[in-house]
Amino acid sequence: MSDALYLRNGTLLQPASDQQMPGDLLVVHGLVRAMHKGESGALDEEARQCAAEIIDCTGLTVAPGLIDAHVHLREPGQTHKETIATGTSAAAAGGFTTVVAMPNTTPVTDSVKWLRFVQAPERCAAVRVLAMPAATVGSMGQELTDYEALQKAGAVGFTDDGKPVLEDNVMRAALVAAARLGLPISQHAEDTRLTAGASMNAGPVSFRLGLRGMTVEAESGIVERDIRLLEEIEQTERLRPHLHVQHVSTAKALHAIRDAKARGLHVTCEVSPHHIALTDEAIAGEAMQGSVRYDTRFKMNPPLRSAEDRDACIAALLDGTADIIATDHAPHAAWEKNVEFERAPNGIVGLETALGVALRVLQGKHGLSLGRTLALFTSNAAAVLGLRDLGAIATGAPADLVVFDPGAAYRYDVGTSVSRSRNTPFHGAPMLGRIDFTIAGGRVVFRR
- Please identify every residue annotated as catalytic: 328
Q: Pick from 61, 279, 301, 379: which binds ligand DOR (CB under 6 A)?
A: 301
**Nearest distance from C-beta of residue 364 to ligand DOR, angstroms:** 26
Rule CB under 6 A: is residue 329 a binding residue for ligand DOR? Answer: no
In DSSP terms, which residues pair with 21 in a beta bridge? 12
| Coil/strand/helix, residue 128 | strand
Rule CB under 6 A: is residue 312 a binding residue for ligand DOR? Answer: no
Q: Pick from 330, 349, 385, 392: which binds ligand DOR (CB under 6 A)?
A: 330
Residue closer to ligand DOR by CB (options 162, 213) is: 162
**Nearest distance from C-beta of residue 443 to ligand DOR, angstroms:** 29
Give one word for 246, left, alpha or beta, with left for phi > 0 and alpha for psi -120 to 50: beta
Number of H helices, E strands in the chain: 15, 18
Residue closer to ligand DOR by CB (options 24, 352) is: 352
Residue closer to ligand DOR by CB (options 47, 135) is: 135
**Nearest distance from C-beta of residue 350 to ligand DOR, angstroms:** 10
Asked if 305 and 201 touch (Cβ cutoff 8 Å), the reply is: yes
**Nearest distance from C-beta of residue 332 to ligand DOR, angstroms:** 6
Q: How many angstroms separate the CA atoms of 144 and 293, rounded?
A: 42
Report the side by side order of strands in the sheet with 324-325: 158-159, 184-187, 242-245, 267-271, 324-325
| Coil/strand/helix, residue 212 | coil
Question: Does an H or E element contain 218, and which?
Answer: helix 216-237
Which amino acid appears at position 335 of this protein? W
Question: What's 346's DSSP letter?
Answer: P
Binding mask 49-88 for ligand DOR (x = CB under 6 A): -----------------------x----------------
Q: Pick from 346, 397, 427, 429: which binds ligand DOR (CB under 6 A)?
A: 346
**Nearest distance from C-beta of residue 239 to ligand DOR, angstroms:** 28
β-strand pairing of 184-187 with 242-245:
parallel
User: Which of these segments, 197-205, 309-317, 345-353, 417-425, binds ligand DOR (CB under 6 A)?
Assistant: 345-353
Residue closer to ligand DOR by CB (options 226, 328) is: 328
Q: How many angstroms separate the CA atoms of 38 and 173, rounded?
A: 52
Shortest-Cβ-distance residue relative to ligand DOR: 347
Asked if 119 and 154 touch (Cβ cutoff 8 Å), the reply is: yes
Q: Pick from 94, 95, 162, 441: which binds ligand DOR (CB under 6 A)?
A: 162
Give CA 439 to chain center in angstroms. 18
Report the side by side order of strands in the sheet with 128-131: 66-71, 96-101, 128-131
Question: Does an H or E element contain 27, and which?
Answer: strand 19-28
Rule CB under 6 A: is residue 347 a binding residue for ligand DOR? Answer: yes
Q: Identify residues 77-136 at the interface with ligand DOR (CB under 6 A).
A: 104
**Nearest distance from C-beta of residue 53 to ligand DOR, angstroms:** 37
Kindly list the residues in this chain that would bind ligand DOR in the complex (CB under 6 A). Answer: 72, 104, 162, 188, 300-301, 328, 330, 345-347
